[in-house]
Amino acid sequence: MDFLHDNLAALQRHLAFVAVDETIDWSLYVQVFSWSVTLFESYLLLRQFPLYNKTAPPAVLADHFKPDVFEKSQKYGKHKAKFSLFSGLYKQIVDTIQIGSGLYYPWAWMFAGQLLLWAGYGSEYQITQSVIFVMVLTYTSLIPSLPLSLYNTFVLEEQHGFNKVTPALFIVDMLKGWAIGIVLGCPLLAAFLYIFEWAGDRFVPWLMAFLLAFQMIMVIIYPTVIQPLFNKLSPLPEGELRGRIETLAGKLKFPLKHLYEIDGSKRSSHSNAYFFGLPWSKHIVIFDTLIKQSKPEEVEAVLAHELGHWYYLHPTKLLLISQLHIFVVLALFPAFRYAPPLLRAFGFPEEVAAHPPPIIAFLLFQMVLTPLEAVVSMALNAVSRRFEYEADRFACELQTQLKAEEMHDMGARLAVRSLRCTSRICRRCGSIGCTPRITTRIRR
């Protein structure tokens, strides 16, 4: 522990200028880099548009796409790309107004303090004020994003035949999400800040342990407590499909405990399957849309791919990568912890900037990390795409009763049903984030 602390202290000495340098315009820095990331992503999206004007599918998919279905796929892909382009620029403009005005974040902090005083508590209850501050930011930021959610659900997905959400269900889901955010988010944030305060300058390992423990707890309570609030999980009935899946799990010694069917058709006609759980107790969930749209062997092929992720320890590897990412972020934060110039740059009054509350310093620090987070995102997308290829290869090699060509045919048929885009700019996949295109996966 002392070795870690000594090395982190040395890092802070190299970054000591952050706490005293008044010449750095942190607000401008954040806006320039965030706009750079947004414009780069917009450029990649624009490069994608000519591909949506193609009138024929790639040769490898020609036998699976009927002309009218391919036309629908192209229209759906183009519509989603236009929406992504608009929503990305829209969100960036909103962020620019909030940051550039120098009013939004200081207002949220002062408003949280006023609510605290109204409840009969003073400024010494800083953790409570910090929790209120984050809730104010969270729920006020939902206001400008609500039109995007409405359009995506009731226009984009509706026009292309995928939406099953009613206005009433949309409102109920939104209210449930807000309630869960309060019930889970408030204690989590309070505990985070308490550990930070209690551990002092040795907070890094303690916070990492706390966040890891929280992730493990969520693995347990999400499927048993949270998921049932939105969807109904029912045991998969006995039959050919269940038998195939249990046989597949047995081959791999996959610790299958429960096999569920979920009512995904309640919200969308898109289909999916996934697994979750602790290392010694796994649960498989299959969307009812996948079961209705597919033959048993097709569902088996999808699950063979998902179990490939388990076999190659992809979730564990991603967890380790995320822990490394968290460590780097927490290790850099102390340099920004006591940095009045940082708060002044974002419009906070002197009485707040002189003694920076940890939550404000951490929030602004996260903004400063925009360039680093963009690089991390690209790296994670590249890793995820590699994992997808590995899982595809595993599924083909595993199924001795299915030829690789048949596995590819199943993947192609599933892509057709989802009107999935058949062509993408490769750099877009690496930079913005997407699953590999179906043509590339088949060729591999």
Interstrand relation of 281-287 and 256-262 (parallel, antiparallel or unpaired): parallel
Say how far residue 373 (Cα) sits from the centre of its chain.
13
**Three-state SS at 256:** strand
Give the CA count within 13 Å in the CB-facing half-sphere of 161: 8
Check whether 258 is labelled as a binding-site residue.
Answer: no
Structure tokens at 140: 């006020």
**Which helix (H) or strand (E) is 208 found in, with range?**
helix 203-221
Q: Taking the CB of residue 182, how many other CB atoms lie within 10 A of it?
A: 14
Give the CA count within 13 Å in the CB-facing half-sphere of 383: 18
Active site residues: 306, 392
**Which helix (H) or strand (E) is 159 found in, with range?**
helix 157-159
Say how far residue 327 (Cα) sits from the centre of its chain.
19
Check whether 325 is labelled as a binding-site residue.
Answer: no
E strands along 190-342, which residues? 233-235, 256-262, 273-278, 281-287
Distances (CA, A) of 364 to 74, 181, 441: 41, 21, 40
Spatial distance between the Cα atoms of 310 and 306, rounded to a whole number of angstroms: 7
157 closest CA partner among 439, 359, 419: 419
183 closest CA partner among 229, 117, 114: 229
Structure tokens at 180: 């869960």
| Cβ burial 406-432 (10 Å sphere, 16+ → b, else e) | ebbbbbbebbbbbbbbbbbbeebbbbb
- The length of the chain in residues reads 444
Check whether 309 is labelled as a binding-site residue.
Answer: yes
Structure tokens at 287: 């969307």
Binding-site entries for Zn(2+)? 305, 309, 388
List the binding residues. 305, 309, 388
